[in-house]
């Protein structure tokens, strides 16, 4: 039932049993549930029993997973904001507010609530909330054909000058 459909060496589709650490739909859901609970990719991957590299590889190639990832983080940050408001800085640990499908074992391993760390995390999250995934700083603009041609002509002219050649000679 949990068979994976993949491509073989000849480009044909094949059905196969998932490997021990395969990123199956069940593990994907487990990862997303844990991510929504903890806002921690490393812990969520460990909880889902998948490697970090497979999580990031899946995110790089699956736009639907990117959207689900974002939704899980938003839910987690909303939960964290609610905990901050509920605590009011008291630092008293709370039971997780409806952790959903994530199992009790991850809730038990959550560290004691740290108000200062939560506020710092929320500050960073708010700053990055409206950026595109993978965007760091200013988004790069692709040069136009004219700009690339001008840059190439300039580089060729500089190379000719270094070699002692000139269009004037």
Residue 67 lies in a domain: yes
CATH number of domain containing 107: 1.10.10
- Going 55 to 133 to 136 to 36, the CA torsion angle's sign is negative
pLDDT in tens, 143-161: 888 988 999 999 999 999 8
Residue 116 domain boundaries: 14-133
Residue 142 lies in a domain: no
Task: Please state the rounded mean pLDDT for residues 69-83.
Answer: 87
Residue 39 near residue 73 (C-beta atoms within 8 A):
yes
Residue 114 near residue 46 (C-beta atoms within 8 A):
no
Give the integer Cα–Cα distance in Å for 169 and 167. 6
pLDDT score for 19: 67
Tell which wins on pLDDT, 12 or 63.
Answer: 63
Residue 76 lies in a domain: yes
pLDDT score for 26: 85
- Total count of domains within the chain: 1
Residue 43 lies in a domain: yes
pLDDT score for 78: 86
Q: Please name the residues in contact with 72: beta carbons below 8 A apart, sequence gap of 6 or more.
A: 32, 33, 35, 36
Residue 125, pLDDT above cutoff 80: no
Residue 148 lies in a domain: no
């Amino acid at each position: 039932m949990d068979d994976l459909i993949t491509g073989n060496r000849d480009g044909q589709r094949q059905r196969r049993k998932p490997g021990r650490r395969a990123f199956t739909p069940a593990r994907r859901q487990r990862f997303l549930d844990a991510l929504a609970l903890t806002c921690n990719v490393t812990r969520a991957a460990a909880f889902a029993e998948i490697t970090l590299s497979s999580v990031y590889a899946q995110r790089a190639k699956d736009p639907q997973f990117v959207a689900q990832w974002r939704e899980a983080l938003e839910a987690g940050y909303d939960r964290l904001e609610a905990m901050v408001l509920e605590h009011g800085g008291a630092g008293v640990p709370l039971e997780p507010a409806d952790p959903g499908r994530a199992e009790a074992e991850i809730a038990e391993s959550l560290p004691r609530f740290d108000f200062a760390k939560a506020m710092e995390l929320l500050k960073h999250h708010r700053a990055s909330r409206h950026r595109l995934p993978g965007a760091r700083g200013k988004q790069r603009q692709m040069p136009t054909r004219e700009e690339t041609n001008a840059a190439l002509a300039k580089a060729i002219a500089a190379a000719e000058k270094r070699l002692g050649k000139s269009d004037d000679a």
